[in-house]
Amino acid sequence: MSNSLSSALDVIIENKQIKPVFQPIVSLKDGQVVGYEALSRITEPSIIKDAEELFKVASEGNKAWALEALCRKKAIQHASTFMNASSSPKLFLNVNPIIIHDDAFDKNYTRKLVKQYGLNPDNIVYEITEKNMIMDMHQFQRLLTYYKNQNYKIAIDDVGAGYSGLNLISEVQPDYLKLD
């Protein structure tokens, strides 16, 4: 990774130049909107051209958690304007499995944000992305159990693509499967 990409990532994180956009998640069973996936977009011009490159640069530069924490906070903050603690659609938050190996990773981060913004953990879905292989399945399963015990739901993104295959489904036992 070049120094200029690393510097551009630092500017984006430090200046919080991320905004969420929400994509509807539709049930194949009945066509109803189940919830919204929070996607992150860069708000200022940058040499990092899109979200895919942004997350790749963060992973390569050991800043995956710093970026994910920022994106998560922005998503929950904005979602709180259309969600409430009682009945509302689900909020799907992307989770890159490599973050659990980051020394700065805080497994209680989302719980604090959900409480701060008055949301219900029952309406939050951790969406495991297909882009990175889970290096330590035992550790990852312990983390998912921790989240499930707090009433968060689990989804696997883009089943059939990347690392989102049948083995992952059987290991994770998700609440939702999202098809590629």
Say which DSSP state 97 is in.
G
Can you give the residue ranges of every domain in the chain?
3-179
Nearest to 89 by CA among 118, 56, 124: 124
CA–CA dist 27, 94 (Å, integer): 18
Instruction: Give the lowest-confidence range in 37-46, 70-79, 168-177.
Output: 168-177
Number of neighbouring beta carbons within 10 Å of residue 63: 20
pLDDT at position 84, please? 66
Q: Which range (7-11, 64-68, 176-180) has the least confidence?
A: 176-180
Mean pLDDT of 53-72: 93
Work out the widest C-alpha separation in the chain, in whole angstroms.
49
The residue ranking higher by pLDDT, 17 or 34, is 17
Q: Note the pTM of the prediction, 2 decimals.
A: 0.87
pLDDT in tens, 114-128: 999 999 999 999 988
* CATH for the 3-179 domain, from 3.40.718.10, 2.60.120.10, 3.40.120.10, 3.20.20.450: 3.20.20.450
Q: Distance between CA atoms of 95 and 117, rounded to whole angstroms? A: 20
Partners of 42 in the β-ladder = 18
